[in-house]
Structure 1
């Protein structure tokens, strides 16, 4: 493995690992706050125990997310020094604000974890809300920095120099809103379905049914609402990408030839050598409509992009199809859940519906990983779109492959530790709240 590939692989591994914990860190505090609110308002001790159980999970994910996020920050400077030399002063604002949000989150989490019986109950609840809000802000600020890489702004690029820097304009670039919205909804959908699925599994095993069914209800509402809204943000993002990054859109859709009434490709295997897609289902005009809101409008293909500037096609296309497919699955399950809430309340306690949620445990996070693959691979060969190539930004330091192997071993070990801690946490749920009568058979 050459150093360039090793640097990219290490960055991808670090980001792929961290993004799971950042999503959970953004979302689970809101589940915790809802459970806490229900206990304060209704006095049901089940919600108090649920709040405490979830707060321990939040602490685990916060610790791992903080470590992996710190590693990512160092990697930007160590692996991509040329990029940071020029980009640091421009997009440093969202990173510095993210650091502030992180510190607020850490302080609020400390208050919450150690504030039981020490603070006024509603102030204690408020500290939990602050954990969620600051975590959400932290995630949005990091996405704003990534959006700047996809849509550089806030400076003038003249003769290789970055002049007239405007950090505020750089932070609120053309891509930040669509990316932040899409990522936030993805985090809520992924975490909501994962948490709901874990608790559904415990219900199916007839363990602490009352406790786990309450937890399932809270997480399922967050996840299903986000899953229904996600296609709307996806449409917004697709139109934004079509306007700013036509090469990325062409790679996502394996759209090799510029044409009007462009067809939407479902599935298929791109053949980059022969410029075609095999085994695909094509819907005439649908890509033109999704990209431009018009069934007739022309969609730029890869044939309009210089060869040296074209991104890979197979990886973004397959990742995009996987993301959309899993998103449709979660949206379908969400609609089924809403129908059950409205017209078939007995379905909510049916084993078959709970099993569907168990099947959806990994769906959201796989979709998140696939979406980031589309974002990052689809931007290639640019690290700063249209201005700096990824190969020109990599460190000249040799031996990066060994660093990649080391980090792979560390992340695998850390993953096993987290799985063990979460498994032990779930097993420690008190048996006092087991009321099997609440959940019937299918």
Structure 2
């Protein structure tokens, strides 16, 4: 295994692990705040139980995310020192702001967890809102950095060196905000459907539980709304990609030939040797319409890029198809939920709907991971698009295989811990017992 492959694999494992906790840290606090808001308006003890339980879940996952995120920050410097040395002055500002948002989230999460009987209701709700906003801000600043790697701006390149750096122009790079919005909606969608799926599984065993009915409703409002909006943000991001990274778009679609009126492909397997995408369903003019909003628009194919600068077309295309396919399924489930709510049908009345939610619970995370494969693998062989290749950024330190094994074992260890903690947390106290305790004015054991 080459050092470059080992470094990329280690970074991929780290990102794939950390991103799960990062997106839950973005979305779960929002659901927590919605539950507490409902409690303040209705004084229904079910909502208070939900807010407290989701708050504890947020704390557990925040702690694991902090560990994995710290590892990632060290890996950026250790594995890619040439990248950090060249681009550090351009991306240092958003990374610093991300750190500020992280510490803000940690501080106000502590206030939220221990302030139930020590702060006023509005002050307590405000602390939860700060947790939700700072978690979102943290994720968005990281996405702005990744957007800069895809569409670098805010500097001049003189003899291979970055000069006249304008960090605000770097923050406003073309892909940054569309990517941040798309990622944020993906976080709400993934965490919302995962939460709904967990409560649907428990509801199948406890059909009379008010707790699970309210939890599913809140989770699906968050996750379902994000899934529908995701289609809009995906369209905007695709157009940015078409303009600034045509090679990535061509790999996503398995499009080898530049043409006017390019078709949109569903499925299929690209063959780089024959330069054809076999067995795909083609929608005439579809890609031209989506990318440039014109059926006659010319869409650049892979034939416009030297062969040695192609990404792994098969991997990018399959990951993109998985992401879009799952997104379509989740939009359909969201619309079904909206229809059931409009018809005023109980979410717990249909075992089929609950089982559907259970099946959908991991799909958001699968789509999320696939989307990051598209983003990262689609940019290759560049770490900074058309400026620095990934092979030029990797460390020369030997023994990268050893660190790959070590950190993979660390993540497996953390995964076992978090699965154990969350399993005990979910089944710790029967929801009905919690509701009765709150109704009687008792202090919850996990408060």
Query: Shorter-chain TM-score category?
Result: over 0.9
Residue number in structure 2 paired with 1:268? 268
Q: Does 1:389 align with 2:381?
A: no
Change in Cα spacing, 1:347 to 1:37, as seen in structure 2 (3 Å) is closer
In 1: Cα distance, 2:234 partner to 2:349 partner: 32
Q: Does 1:104 align with 2:89?
A: no
Q: Does 1:412 align with 2:412?
A: yes
2:247–2:301: 8 Å Cα contact kept in structure 1? Answer: yes
Change in Cα spacing, 1:346 to 1:51, as seen in structure 2 (3 Å) is closer
Gaps of 5+ in 2: 436-447
1:252–1:320: 8 Å Cα contact kept in structure 2? Answer: yes
Q: Does 1:251 align with 2:243?
A: no
Change in Cα spacing, 1:337 to 1:298, as seen in structure 2 (3 Å) is same
- 1:51 deviates by 1.1
- 1:307 deviates by 1.6
Q: Does 1:126 align with 2:122?
A: no
Residue number in structure 1 paired with 2:150? 150
- 1:345 deviates by 1.9
User: TM-score if structure 2 supplies the norm length?
Assistant: 0.95
In 1: Cα distance, 2:67 partner to 2:53 partner: 22
In 1: Cα distance, 2:346 partner to 2:210 partner: 16
Cα displacement string for residues 349-372 of structure 1 (whole angstroms, at most 9, x for unaligned residues) = 311111111111000000000000
In 2: Cα distance, 1:278 partner to 1:344 partner: 46
In 1: Cα distance, 2:123 partner to 2:179 partner: 33
Gaps of 5+ in 1: 436-442
- 1:208 deviates by 7.1
In 2: Cα distance, 1:416 partner to 1:266 partner: 37
Range with greater deviation from structure 2 (338-347 or 261-270):
338-347
Q: Does 1:75 align with 2:75?
A: yes
SS of aligned partner of 1:345: coil
In 1: Cα distance, 2:431 partner to 2:129 partner: 28
1:373-384 mapped onto 2 (5 Å cutoff) = 373-384=373-384
SS of aligned partner of 1:157: strand
Residue number in structure 2 paired with 1:219? 219
1:331-410 mapped onto 2 (5 Å cutoff) = 331-343=331-343, 345-346=345-346, 349-410=349-410
1:261–1:297: 8 Å Cα contact kept in structure 2? Answer: yes
1:210–1:433: 8 Å Cα contact kept in structure 2? Answer: no
- 1:343 deviates by 2.5
In 2: Cα distance, 1:424 partner to 1:207 partner: 21
In 2: Cα distance, 1:405 partner to 1:283 partner: 44
Range with greater deviation from structure 2 (301-310 or 134-143):
301-310
- 1:207 deviates by 6.9
Residue number in structure 1 paired with 2:84? 84
1:76–1:84: 8 Å Cα contact kept in structure 2? Answer: yes
1:294-333 mapped onto 2 (5 Å cutoff) = 294-333=294-333
- 1:225 deviates by 0.6
Q: How many residues align?
A: 435
Tell me which stretches of 4 or more aligned residues in structure 1 moved more than 4 Å.
none
In 2: Cα distance, 1:111 partner to 1:222 partner: 24
Cα displacement string for residues 152-174 of structure 1 (whole angstroms, at most 9, x for unaligned residues) = 01100122121101011111211
In 1: Cα distance, 2:172 partner to 2:18 partner: 24
Residue number in structure 1 paired with 2:445? none
Cα displacement string for residues 315-363 of structure 1 (whole angstroms, at most 9, x for unaligned residues) = 0000000000000000000111111111352466311111111111000
Cα displacement string for residues 2-21 of structure 1 (whole angstroms, at most 9, x for unaligned residues) = 11100000001101111111
1:203–1:209: 8 Å Cα contact kept in structure 2? Answer: yes
User: TM-score if structure 1 supplies the norm length?
Assistant: 0.96
- 1:433 deviates by 5.1
- 1:431 deviates by 4.5
Cα displacement string for residues 284-311 of structure 1 (whole angstroms, at most 9, x for unaligned residues) = 1111111111111111000110122211
2:203–2:348: 8 Å Cα contact kept in structure 1? Answer: no
1:147–1:173: 8 Å Cα contact kept in structure 2? Answer: yes
Residue number in structure 2 paired with 1:438? none
